[in-house]
Structure formats: C-alpha cells, structure tokens
Structure 1
Amino acid sequence: MFNKFKLDSKLAREVDWGIIVSIVLIVLFGIVNIYMAIGSKNAGKQLVWLIISLVCLYFLMLIDYNMLENYVVIFYWFNVVLLVLTKFVLGSKINGAVGWIKFGPVSFQPSELAKIAVILMLAKKIQDFDGKVNNLKNFIILAMYIIIPVTFIVIQPDMGMTMVFFFIALGIFFCAGLDGKVIVSGLFGLFVAIALVWNSGLIKGYQKRRLISFLNPEADASGDGLQVSRALIGIGSGGVFGIGIKTSGYADAFVPENHTDMIFSVIAQHFGTVGCVFLLVLYAILIYKMIEIARTSKDIFGSVISVGMASYFIYAILQNIGMNLAIMPVTGITLPLVSYGGSSLLTTILSIGLVINIGMRRKKIHF
C-alpha cells in the first residue's frame, strides 16, 4: 500500500538536494527572526507550516509534472473565479486592499495562488506555440492570460502584487526570446498603466503617500514614513555582526510589520551585514539552481515554469530588501520563505517543488 507513496531510488538520485537544503535553511533562519520579532508562539506556527509544506513537497515530487499540464486550464480559470469572488464576495480588507480570504484564524491571499496559475498557463501556451512568442497572434493570447487576473488584482487594489505579475511575465518573455522592441514597449505601457491607475481613484490618498514615502521617509517619520524610517534605524543598529539573538533590539519593538514586510530590518539588526550576506548567498544558490534547471529542462513547459519561479524570487527579494533600505516603494511584498505566513510559505515551497520536479525528470530514467 505504501509503495505507491515511495519515491523511486533512481528518481531520488535526480533530486536537487541543494535546493531543498537551501529552502530549509532559509525558512529556519526566518523562523529565528520571527521568534525575535513577535515571539515563540508564532515562530512555532511557522515551524509547523514548514513541516506541512515539506510533506506536501514530497507528495508533489511523486507526480510527473507533465501530468499537471492536463489540468492547467482548469487551475487557471479556477483562480480567476477565485479572484473575482475575493474582490466582490469573500474578500477581507487588509492594509486597504480587498485581497484576502479568512478562514477563522487563517488568512489566504488568492493572488499568491494565481501567480502560480499564470506561470503554468504561460508555460503551457508557449509550449503549444512551440516557443514562437514573436508571432503577433500568439503574443496577444499570452498577454490576455496575464491581463485577465491582473485586472482583478489592480482593482483590489494591490499594486505590489501587480508588479510581481509584470516582472514574472517580463522574465518569461525575455528568456523566451521576445523581441526587444516589444519588451521596451511593454515597459512603456507599464508606466502608462501605473499613471492611469494612480489617477483613477482606485488608490486612495493615504496609499499614495505610503507608496512614495520611501523617497524621503524622514519628512514624515511619525506618519507615512514611520515604517521605513524605523526600519532604517533597526538596520543601522546591527552593524557588521549584529546585536546577537540574546538581546532585544529596536526593530523588535518599534518597526511595524517587522515579521512580514519589514523582517529584513530584524535580520540586519540581529545578524548584521554578515547575516544579510548569508541569507543572500542562500537565495543566490536557490535562484542559480532554478535557472540551471530551466536551461536543461527536457521541454519548453518545464523551462518556462522554472524561469517564472526564478523571476518571482529575483523581483520579490529585490523589492522587499529595497523597501527596507528606502530605495524602493513600500508595496507589501514579503521576503520569500522568510516572512511570517503559513499559506504563503506553503504555496512558495510548492512552487519551488515544481521546479525540483522538473529537474528530477530532465532525462529519461530507465526503470
């Protein structure tokens, strides 16, 4: 009975254990910082979610990723419907955006799942098109599969997640060989779209002030710039080696959202520059391995999925750390695998699990 839940030894040898080790180290490092930011109870919850995520990851590894291709269309449209229901029926407002569904004490952000759905749909369609993304008809179809879910994310409104989708698409199209002129036009279109949304009334005045507060956080250090200005103090207090884990610091007590958006300030405070470099090295290993799997995948479907996941990680890491350092707008993008949040951790680990799955099946296994 249990044999069908056992990973074949030949497939097990193809698992990139470096990715799994990197995941576990990053999450455990995050849990230590969650403990220092908001206490042992929530750190314990995150540890439980890590265990659940790894169990789910194992079962995902048992399934050939090519089988998932048959269900991509259903999965995609299910997520579109879920986004609609979130905005108009089921959603709860958090930080000004109606983008969360609450199940008792658990909150779930459907756009996190929609992110994976869009990557899978783009992967399937680009494979169907045999990689011909410069064909106008093909490009319009691909663009529509991005625009449909993003429209409902924009009207939540959640500009941070909207940017995530854009940079995922940018990474996929770039690696798929889309003409440079189209990419430049897309970037121009993005700026136009941001300007239209900015002046549409969807984004309230206080949300606008929060987004641009990074330009001069000290100008309103007790208001819209409070989060960034306090994060900078926490980061600066860490120095090279940090204050250690036995001492409670400024970021633990005074930085808002120090366990989610601003957890980097806690890391920099307690572990200093050394700890930040340690985390970035682990991220670099993870991203490098995802790109390597994308490069060596046996099919376009696997390559695009891997590129999409790598693109997400690159953007999310740069955005989150950037807003902690006051060089990027505060958009509510969490630090992948590090920030507190069980459902987010589960979806992130499973998305990486897809890449591991692709890497396991890069070459024909003779049983």
Structure 2
Amino acid sequence: MFNEKSRLSKFKLDFRLIREIDTGLLIATILLVLYGIFNIYLCTKGDLSAYGPFYYVKKQSMSFVLSMVALYIFVAVDYRIMYRYITIFYWGSVALLIAVWIPFIGVEVNGARGWITLGIGNLQPAEVAKFAIILMVAKILDEIDCEVNNIRNIGKILIYVMIPVSLILFQPDMGMTMVCFFIVLGMIYVAGLDKRIILGGFLAIFLAIIVLWNTPLILPHQKARIASIMNPDPDNSANGYQLNQSLIGIGSGGLAGTQPSLDSEIAPGYTGTHVPEIQTDFIFAAIGEQWGFVGIMFLLGLYAVLITRMVNIARKAKDRFASLVCIGIVSYFLFAITQNIGMTIGLLPITGITLPLISYGGSSLLTTTMAVALVLNIGMRKKKIHF
C-alpha cells in the first residue's frame, strides 16, 4: 500500500513535524493522566496496609513515565511503516492471551485469568489485544475498500475479531469483550455497514441474552450486577453495596465537592462513603465526591477536547486506513467513558471497564496512551512537509 522508504529502526523525531502536532490533544491527554494520578493518591492516601499510602500513586506515576516513552516512539515512527507490522502485532497479542493460561506466567486477579506476570509488575494482554483489534480491523477494511455489506468481507472481519475476543471472554472479562464489540461496531458503521444489519445484530444479542440467562454462560455475579441496577437500595451484597456507596459519594459532592485534604493520615472514604477498589473502576465516584459538579465538568471538558480533536484528525487523515484507526480509538473512548460513568451512577451494569487515562492500571494507561499517540502521529502526517 505504501512506498515509504523509512525503516522502523529510525526513532528520531523529525522536528519539522512538531509544528504539525495537535497540541490540544496532547495537553488534554497529559492533563487527564495527571488528574487521574492526583485522584488515585486522594483515594489511597489513608491506606494502612502493607502497601502504604503512596504505593498506587508511585506505580501509576511509573506507568505514566513509561507511557510517555511509548508516546514518543509512536509519534516518531511514521504510522505507514507500522502498517507493515500490524499482522505480527495482532498475532503477538493473541499469543499473549493464550500465555495467561501457562503456569508460572499467567496469574489470576479478581477471579479472572487475564494477567501475565513480568516480575516488576503484571501485564493485561486484553488491553494489548484491544489495540491490535483496532489496527487489524482498519487494515482489513482498507484492503476490502470498506465493502462491509459483502458477506465474505464481513465474515473475514468477524473471524479476526472473534479469535482474540473469544480468548478474552474465556478469562472471563465481559467488560473488555463489550469494549471490543463497540470498537468494531463503530468502525464498520463508519465504513458503511447497512443500519438494518446493525439493528438485526442488536436484536440477536438481546435474544441470546434471554436464551442464555439461565445457563452457566452468564455467571451469577453478572446477573447480580444487572439486577442491582433495577433495584439497588435493598441489595446489601458486594454488587449492590458498591453501587450504593458510589451514588452516596457522588451525591454528597454537591457543586464544589468535599474539598479533599492532603493529610495522609485521613483514612480513605471521604465523607463516610467507601467504594471497594475505588481507584480503579469507580474512580469517577471519588472525583464526584471530592470535586463535585465542578470537578466532573472539568473531567468531561478534557474528554470533550480529546474526542473532538481525534474526530477532526480522522476527517483530515491522509488515507483511509489512518481515518479508520482514529475512528476505532474514538469508539473506544466514547464507549468506555459512557459505560464507566454509567455504571457508577446506576444507569448501566457494573463491568470491569476503567475510566480511560484516569483509573489506576498500568496496562490500560500504556495502551491508551499508545492509541492517542498514534492519532497524534496521523495528525502530524496529514500533509507533506515543505522545505
């Protein structure tokens, strides 16, 4: 597809391209990460366990530094060179998903066999696979000229998607499965998929859930999470308790929040609420409680800048592949933000979906930063450099 003569080994950034970088997108990304790190500290500053009050913020800060290195690499190397290695990257992510089941390599966290131990930390292969799916689907759509209403073409896409998604579902990780589904849906919709097919697909999923409700394929805790949305108040189980505490915390934040204290001796819980693992999936509840409506609007404002900038880059991209990659990343952000916030306020089922760039989690932060870096890369190279 491309006649680019550069080599992957060239990691030196051409400074003539710096003036083309989308500074708004870059600044919004860095501010989101820093806002997340600060709120992670506030969530865990009263940790009296062996980890201590600075454990999570130190690890997230280290992940941030690593993410900035990855951002530089993904900005410096022309995305058209990366195009050649997408297939290798895709199958590498599949291999990582399989590796979680190898003894002494894969580890189980919170009931899911979805992590690989690296000695200095754990890697979540599903996060890598999410990124690989975006690239692979964009590559296939480019190769088939976006003819997605052809049965053979759509079948090819589904096969490449279902291989990693099946492995993710088997862990089990329903949250990441949903993320991948909506990423692909957004990409093939923009590519021109018939709306009747989309509606038929949603209907088929709805009917499948009804049919499978009383089978072992839908786990008890997943049913409980769905049921807790319908009637959360009397539910004192782990699922209902988490949602109730989240609602209490966000509600108590008011306009300007509870004015968080930096005193590390104050136990976590703020104004009496305490959400288990609040620094990960439910960090939005902490932001709502400590910073109130003002803090929430600041967060959503940064996300609005980030998403609108990425959409603008997608529209101006030099080629179809680049545009589709941007759309896939935008689809991820839109769904992950909606799902994460929706579950903390009781509008959507509770899943293990992190709030992008905000929640604690090195794998999520690294791959999400890489995705944003790729969009920056595409935006920088939307036109030729003039000497």
**Partner SS state of residue 113, structure 2:** strand
Q: State the AA in 2 paired with 1:55.
A: V
Partner of 2:48: none
Partner of 1:69: 83
Partner of 1:231: 246
Out of 310, 315, 327, the residue aligned to residue 295 of structure 1 is 315
Q: CA deviation at 1:223?
A: 3.6
Tell me if structure 2 keeps the 8 A contact 1:38–1:252: no
**Partner SS state of residue 149, structure 1:** helix
CA offsets, 1:62-112, max 9 Å, x none?
111011111111111121222123246543222222112223352221111
1:120 corresponds to 2:126: no
Q: CA deviation at 1:158?
A: 1.4
Give the Cα separation in 1 of the matches to 2:183 and 2:231. Answer: 29
Q: CA deviation at 1:43?
A: 1.5
Give the Cα separation in 2 of the matches to 1:309 and 1:231. Answer: 28
Partner of 1:350: 370
Out of 251, 255, 260, the residue aligned to residue 275 of structure 2 is 255
Q: Which runs of 4+ in 1 moved over 6 A?
A: none
1:55 corresponds to 2:69: yes
Out of 145-154 and 260-269, give the one that drifted further.
145-154
Q: CA deviation at 1:200?
A: 3.8
Equivalences for 1:170-249 in 2 at 5 Å? 170-195=185-210, 198-246=213-261, 249=269
Out of 34, 41, 57, the residue aligned to residue 43 of structure 1 is 57
Q: State the AA in 2 paired with 1:230.
A: Q
Partner of 1:339: 359
Q: State the AA in 2 paired with 1:80.
A: V
Q: CA deviation at 1:203?
A: 3.8
Partner of 1:27: 33
Q: CA deviation at 1:13?
A: 0.8
CA 1:53–1:171 in 2, change beyond 3 Å: closer, same or farther? same
Give the Cα separation in 2 of the matches to 1:251 and 1:129. Answer: 56
**Partner SS state of residue 16, structure 2:** helix
Q: State the AA in 1 paired with 2:164.
A: P
Q: State the AA in 1 paired with 2:31.
A: L
CA offsets, 1:287-328, max 9 Å, x none?
111111111111111011100000000000010011110111
What TM-score does the superposition give when structure 1 sets the normalisation length?
0.94
CA offsets, 1:145-190, max 9 Å, x none?
1111111112222111111011101110111111111111222233
1:85 corresponds to 2:104: no
Give the Cα separation in 1 of the matches to 2:273 and 2:198. Answer: 44
Tell me if structure 2 keeps the 8 A contact 1:252–1:266: no
Between the two proteins, the alignment pairs up a number of residues equal to 364
Give the Cα separation in 1 of the matches to 2:257 and 2:206. Answer: 39
CA 1:219–1:69 in 2, change beyond 3 Å: closer, same or farther? same
Tell me if structure 2 keeps the 8 A contact 1:252–1:258: no
Out of 151, 154, 173, the residue aligned to residue 136 of structure 1 is 151
CA offsets, 1:321-365, max 9 Å, x none?
111101111111110000011222111101111111111111122
Q: State the AA in 2 paired with 1:28.
A: L
Tell me if structure 1 keeps the 8 A contact 2:253–2:291: yes
Give the Cα separation in 2 of the matches to 1:252 and 1:172. Answer: 43
Give unmatched runs, 5+ long, in structure 1. Answer: none
CA 1:276–1:110 in 2, change beyond 3 Å: closer, same or farther? same
Q: CA deviation at 1:195?
A: 4.3
1:325 corresponds to 2:345: yes
Partner of 2:325: 305
CA offsets, 1:206-246, max 9 Å, x none?
34213432222212135430111011111111101001122
Q: CA deviation at 1:126?
A: 0.8
**Partner SS state of residue 217, structure 1:** coil
Give the Cα separation in 2 of the matches to 1:344 and 1:133. Answer: 30
Out of 94, 99, 105, the residue aligned to residue 109 of structure 2 is 94
Q: State the AA in 2 paired with 1:18.
A: G
Q: State the AA in 1 paired with 2:35.
A: F
Tell me if structure 1 keeps the 8 A contact 2:99–2:116: no
Q: State the AA in 1 paired with 2:167.
A: F
CA offsets, 1:256-280, max 9 Å, x none?
1110011011100110001001100
**Partner SS state of residue 9, structure 1:** coil
Partner of 1:267: 287
Out of 4, 15, 27, the residue aligned to residue 9 of structure 1 is 15
Tell me if structure 2 keeps the 8 A contact 1:94–1:100: yes
CA RMSD between the two structures? 1.9
Tell me if structure 1 keeps the 8 A contact 2:183–2:328: yes
Tell me if structure 2 keeps the 8 A contact 1:320–1:335: yes
Out of 316-325 and 150-159, give the one that drifted further.
150-159
Give the Cα separation in 1 of the matches to 2:140 and 2:244. Answer: 44
Tell me if structure 2 keeps the 8 A contact 1:127–1:300: yes
**Partner SS state of residue 90, structure 2:** helix
Tell me if structure 2 keeps the 8 A contact 1:119–1:305: yes
Give unmatched runs, 5+ long, in structure 2. Answer: 1-9, 46-53
